[in-house]
Chain A
């Protein structure tokens, strides 16, 4: 019993008294307000039953946080605004605990709509990108709006106010955006920004034969060995895929496009770690035909390629609208405007699309402003957006297992998965949805 006596701690938080134990508070970890408070360096005088520690903070939030430390679960009463809670959690250094208690490990079949965020920007959204720790950024015209995981908006980004083509997170603190060039000014191209302050860190340059050239940067992707890839369109022959170092910001490589392969116009890039290759897809309607290839940068050769040139245009025309490589099954998955999935084998050189027999006709009415389907991959689950819903396919045979739908904001023009969240951007209204998996510890 002596132990328990000594273990007990009494707080006065903003005038309200709380009693707990140092054991409970130890759950916050050494790297928190409580961890430091109880460190022996800070000579916390032994308390008698009447003495208490005063903390000049909000008592209601303290109650929620104390409960979180006691149980590992987050229960926020209606009178406590979430923003306030997060602020207090950040004060105590337990924001990570709150985040972990709010949503669990991502599972496409157990998603629930958490909230929808209205954006201030006019016009259609171009892209939405999930950040590594729950935040996201949305590209609208020439601006990129940045949100942290609490959906607190940070200063927006722009690259000389040029039209943004793509954006991506290098880490939770850095975002890269790619934009169109403005003729003859050297504006546009690609830049890296601080996600919290919005200031630009680097402007990435492309040089050809030691001459710095202005360019339009298109699709972006990153590799695990700190490289940035982007499709580039220059003035004359400078079309292809550029490679930069994430740390130094310097250009380290360039894959010039071979005639007829439209690499500089690519809609999608994907780095394949197992193949040490980059997937490049240039698709209809940006070009009249679809081109998909795998580039090996070491040898500067195209190790695999496919295009639909010469394919007879049949009655039910099936044009590839997005492509994604499934490294595990050595195949490329493609989708057409009717949301039929097709597969190509990466191991055979002359591939043809094997359309899935599961092909479904469009059900329901066609929305006023249809959007082309997009594909994403997460942890073995395949996601495909179509109209105003997202289909989830699971297992090695890609079986349709779930469908996410929300009837507000029109069709989905882009979506992205990251930080254990799925973000879906709608085209008609400037709104995006956040889908989360319930935390497993929650009741």
Chain B
């Protein structure tokens, strides 16, 4: 770094520069190259020698004339592009784009050849001076001199937008040419494409679709409108694949979505006579599917559809469950619910892409309106009862499962599952005792389903009922085996029911005919002999009997009747005429039951084995009864039903309700104790929340009831109130 050293270095550099031979060398060489560039642009390149041109360009760079070569290139190319620009400007009308395209192709080819000649400059001089490489330079000069030329710029944009518009209105345009021009803009850089075409294109498109959607919404129904919107959307996507930059797809579809869907969302959904509700009512899967797919593309689109669907289902469901007409037939009532569910399941699966959020909306709607009617649990149980009594005859095992699964689905919507349980138990008891159940498998299958849904506790009593039925069979076999003398005379079949497992009804034992009470006594001593420490009481209100009867002209029939009816009929073995009072005295059947029993024996046409005086529909306390000698029937066996209201009568209903409330008490208490045991101290509101949550799977606990239970627990020293904060409870171990 000493001074002499530095000097020496500089001298060497300076000396090198002076080596150049011919002062005109650079100009001469450049003339050759310039001429070649002219010839290339004039399509006259066949006479040029690549080797010579390459060598000349190389020599210029080698002899430090890179700068001259480069600036010469810029000047020459600019001049040519100005000429080209002029000829494009002069192109008439439709030839404009074609001329532009032709010149662009020419320029590209020329650029490639110029770059070949100047390859050495590109590699060395341009690299070290960080100038723009030849190819890029050629694009920039084209952009500045041709595309940005004042007479081309706006004309190009207008032409392109005009072509798009013509295509939108159904004309066929030259897509190939369009693609080439757009590709040119893209080659010039994404910002050129965006500024010179994409941005204005999007604005014009927005304007176009704003107008079109306004027109459509005035004259089309919703389905038609959606069809048109879908077609437009597809057209735009197709346009992108044919001649636009792939990145434009999201932008242009966004425009269509906004103008055609988002801006008219509510008008479409609520369109009179053709909106969403009508589509739902008419099961227009295709239109619904289209709506789903289009609305999915815009913000809040699906939630709008979902909300309208939800409120519609709620409305329909509310009408269904509160319509007094519907309440007359529980089976029909439940069937309608199931049909409604099927309908929307199908819509969601075939039109709404099985969208989870729609399924949830459907479920919550059902949950909402099913519980609007307090009798829903009873009706669902009655529906099951109907199915299991007769509805499932001749139905395949798979179909049975399908029906049971649907019932379970409704069951899940119920808030008062314990009420259902109560009814279910009653109905099951009746089915079992009357031997009316169609399929044991179906019964058990449903119990398994209930068990998985609600746990062991829920079904243990139901299972106990099945066990009783089985045990009773064995007991009867044992009874007859130990009493071989009973082969003659009436046959007794006893079902021994465990108290607690079965829905007990306050029962008054009636007076059985002597033959029967003797037999019953035998059974009692047999049973108590084998099972010590048990108590048997007869539920005469639940039994049935088959009795043989011979009428006036000797017609013989076997009558299938209830135990009460049997008791009444047996009285007529000894007398022809009996008054109501006499019958009541002899049998001691409760009045309401007796009346129903007599009604079914004397007032039902075709089954009237008794005759009544006076003839009327109802039973009066002063009526008299006779054996109907004229009784005829095509069948040998005649089943005489009891006139029963299939649904519960009003007092019965209240009784069931009461029993449910009674049963809830210990459950609520148990829940409170469980919670307090783990939490030790808790305030009132939190207890209510937690208890409600714990019992949710069975029923909706009433806060007032919970409060009562808490008070009862405090009285019994399970809990105490905090001395300071009266809202706080403590658990007492």
Contacts and interface: CB of A to CB of B under 8 A. Distances in A.
Contacts of A32: 119
Interface stretch (A52-60, A333-341, A409-417): A52-60
Given A33-B119, A194-B128, A196-B127, A41 B109 contact: yes
B113 interface: yes
A32 B129 CA distance: 21
A31 B119 contact: yes
A143 interface: yes
Nearest to A39: B116
B51 A36 contact: no
Interface of B is mostly: helix
A36 B116 CA distance: 6
Contacts of A142: 1
B359 to A, nearest CB: 45
Interface string B377-399: 00000000000000000000000
Contacts of A155: 13
Given A42-B113, A43-B45, A173-B127, A37 B1 contact: no
Interface in A284-325: none
A194 B125 CA distance: 12
Nearest to B128: A196
B58 interface: yes
B46 A36 contact: no
Interface in B250-274: none
A334 to B, nearest CB: 34
A138 to B, nearest CB: 14
B360 interface: no
A39 B113 CA distance: 9
A101 B483 CA distance: 114
A93 B119 contact: yes
Contacts of B9: 156
B116 A41 contact: yes
B61 to A, nearest CB: 10
A141 interface: yes
Contacts of A141: 1
Interface string A35-49: 011010111100000
B541 to A, nearest CB: 83
Interface string A152-186: 00011000010000000000010000000000000
A42 B45 contact: yes
Contact of B128 (A54, A121, A197): A197
B112 interface: yes
Given A42-B50, A43-B45, A142-B1, A91 B130 contact: no
Interface in B39-70: 45-46, 48, 50-51, 54-55, 58
B119 A36 contact: yes
Nearest to A38: B50
B132 to A, nearest CB: 15
A91 B1 contact: no
Most chain A CB inside 10 Å of its own CB: which residue of B13, B54, B129: B54
A194 to B, nearest CB: 6
A77 interface: no
B150 interface: no
Given A41-B113, A41-B116, A42-B116, A173 B128 contact: yes
B50 A93 contact: no
Interface string B98-132: 00000000000100110011011001100111100
Contacts of B48: 42
A259 interface: no
B124 A90 contact: yes
Contacts of A55: 51
B10 to A, nearest CB: 10
A37 B50 CA distance: 7
B1 A173 contact: no
B45 A91 contact: no
Contacts of B109: 41
B5 interface: yes
A143 B51 contact: no
A364 interface: no
Contacts of A56: 51, 55
Contact of A197 (B5, B112, B116, B129): B129
A31 B46 CA distance: 21
A317 B174 CA distance: 84
A154 to B, nearest CB: 9
A430 B449 CA distance: 93
A101 to B, nearest CB: 18
A91 B128 contact: no
B1 A54 contact: no
A122 B6 CA distance: 12
B128 A36 contact: no
Given A33-B54, A142-B1, A161-B1, A93 B120 contact: yes
B322 to A, nearest CB: 64
A86 to B, nearest CB: 12
Contacts of B13: 155
Interface string A107-143: 0000000000000111000000000000000000111
Nearest to A201: B130
A143 B50 contact: no
B50 A173 contact: no
B612 to A, nearest CB: 100
B634 to A, nearest CB: 95
Contacts of B117: 36
A65 to B, nearest CB: 15
Contacts of B54: 33, 36
B398 to A, nearest CB: 59
Contacts of A36: 50, 54, 116-117, 119
Contacts of A33: 54, 119
Contacts of B50: 36-37, 42, 44
Contacts of A53: 51
Interface in B1-36: 1-2, 5, 9, 13
B127 to A, nearest CB: 6
Contacts of A43: 45-46
Contacts of B119: 31-33, 36, 93
Contacts of A37: 50-51
A142 B2 CA distance: 11
A194 B124 CA distance: 13
A258 B120 CA distance: 53
Nearest to B113: A41
A31 B9 CA distance: 36
A194 B126 CA distance: 12
A122 B51 CA distance: 46
B347 to A, nearest CB: 52
A91 B124 CA distance: 10
B486 to A, nearest CB: 91
Given A41-B112, A42-B116, A173 B130 contact: yes
Contacts of B128: 173, 194, 196-197
Contacts of B1: 121-122, 141-143, 161
Contacts of B130: 173, 194
Contacts of A91: 58, 120
A41 B44 CA distance: 11
B45 to A, nearest CB: 7
Nearest to A56: B55
Nearest to A30: B116
Closest CB pairs A-B (n = 6) = A36-B116, A196-B128, A43-B46, A42-B50, A41-B113, A142-B1
Given A42-B45, A122-B2, 20 more contacts: A32-B119, A33-B54, A36-B50, A36-B54, A36-B116, A37-B50, A41-B45, A41-B113, A42-B48, A42-B50, A42-B116, A90-B120, A91-B120, A93-B123, A141-B1, A155-B13, A161-B1, A173-B127, A194-B130, A197-B129
28 contacts: A33-B119, A36-B116, A41-B109, A41-B112, A41-B113, A41-B116, A42-B45, A42-B50, A42-B116, A43-B45, A43-B46, A44-B50, A54-B51, A56-B51, A90-B120, A90-B123, A91-B58, A93-B120, A93-B123, A121-B1, A122-B5, A141-B1, A143-B1, A156-B9, A173-B130, A194-B130, A197-B128, A197-B129
